[in-house]
């Protein structure tokens, strides 16, 4: 049995999310209205479904 491994640098930053995720603006950024939220268009490190999005993208490219 052969085991293979790979690492893709910055892989999460290029993935498209399946469902919309909305976040609050980060502290330290000047925003006129802090009651608004931002929509994430791409996966980010630390998101719950970023790993799943990466896996599904890998499967679909095979």
Do the domain assignments include residue 5? Answer: no
pLDDT score of 32 = 80
Q: What is the pLDDT of residues 45-59, one digit of tens each?
A: 788 877 888 788 778
Do the domain assignments include residue 56? Answer: yes
Do the domain assignments include residue 16? Answer: yes
Q: Residues 2-7: what's their mean pLDDT?
A: 82
Q: What is the pLDDT of residues 37-46, one digit of tens each?
A: 889 888 887 8
Do the domain assignments include residue 1? Answer: no
pLDDT score of 16 = 80
Would you say 53 and 16 are in contact if contact means Cβ atoms under 8 Å apart?
yes
- For residue 35, give both structure tokens: 């009651």
Question: How many structural domains are present in the chain?
Answer: 1
Do the domain assignments include residue 7? Answer: no
Do the domain assignments include residue 3? Answer: no
Do the domain assignments include residue 53? Answer: yes
pTM of the model: 0.56
pLDDT score of 7 = 74
Would you say 42 and 14 are in contact if contact means Cβ atoms under 8 Å apart?
yes
- Residue 14's nearest CA partner among 44, 34, 48 is 44
Q: For residue 40, what are the domain limits?
A: 12-23+35-60
């Amino acid at each position: 049995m052969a085991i293979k491994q790979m690492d893709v640098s910055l892989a999460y930053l290029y993935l498209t999310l399946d469902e919309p995720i909305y976040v609050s603006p980060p502290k330290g950024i000047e925003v006129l209205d802090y009651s608004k939220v931002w929509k994430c268009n791409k996966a980010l490190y630390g998101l719950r479904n970023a790993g799943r999005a990466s896996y599904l993208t890998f499967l679909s490219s095979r």
